[in-house]
Structure 1
């Protein structure tokens, strides 16, 4: 039995199965999706992705960490924001949930 359940959203659209029915996420995946949407909604993702080595990056990473830690499902002090080594325009957010273990979310700017 799941605690959290939500529609699966990808690139701003509901993901459909082969029968054109909406698909759903549960628990850990819901939290990861909620975190991505929160970061995108604040505009912090675009700021982070568009920055190219100025002092804005560290400040934006700190703001993202604080935003993610505001989620009551996340264990405080566990949030990390790291740049993707292969694609410098992508960032990973890692955190420990209180009930479901570690989550990771890829941030690529406006989706």
Structure 2
């Protein structure tokens, strides 16, 4: 069942098919893309790259989790962040309709 649709964005640009029409993303991929873009647009990803204090980095992680959990499609209390590098995070969260999603966020 397709519930959510969005234009697919790759490397901050629309993804186009062979006919130069935008590709679509749907359901859990659409939710993940929305979450990724909300984090980037909030400035929290950039703030995290600039922060070196472990304590203050965890504060930014908490703010990212709170932002993600305001999405009505995400089950509150399920968002988790794993720091892969100082500039790349992997975020997981459970959705009401599609189970667990995961997105990579580059600062």
Bin of the TM-score, shorter chain as denominator length: over 0.9
Q: 2:38 is paired with a residue of what secondary structure?
A: helix
Q: Gapped runs of 5+ residues in structure 1?
A: none
Match of 1:22 in 2: 22
Aligned with residue 105 of structure 2, among 100, 103, 107: 107
1:91 equivalent among 83, 89, 92: 89
Task: Answer with 45-54 or 16-25: which moved more.
Answer: 45-54
The structure that is strand-richer by fraction is 2
CA RMSD of aligned residues (A): 1.2
User: What stretches of structure 2 of length at least 5 have no aligned partner?
Assistant: none
| 8 Å CA contact retained: 1:49, 1:108 | no
**TM-score, with normalisation over the residues of structure 1?**
0.90
Please say which of residues 6-15 and 93-102 is displaced more in the overlay. Answer: 6-15
Aligned residue-pair number: 107
Distance 1:77 1:55 in 2: 21
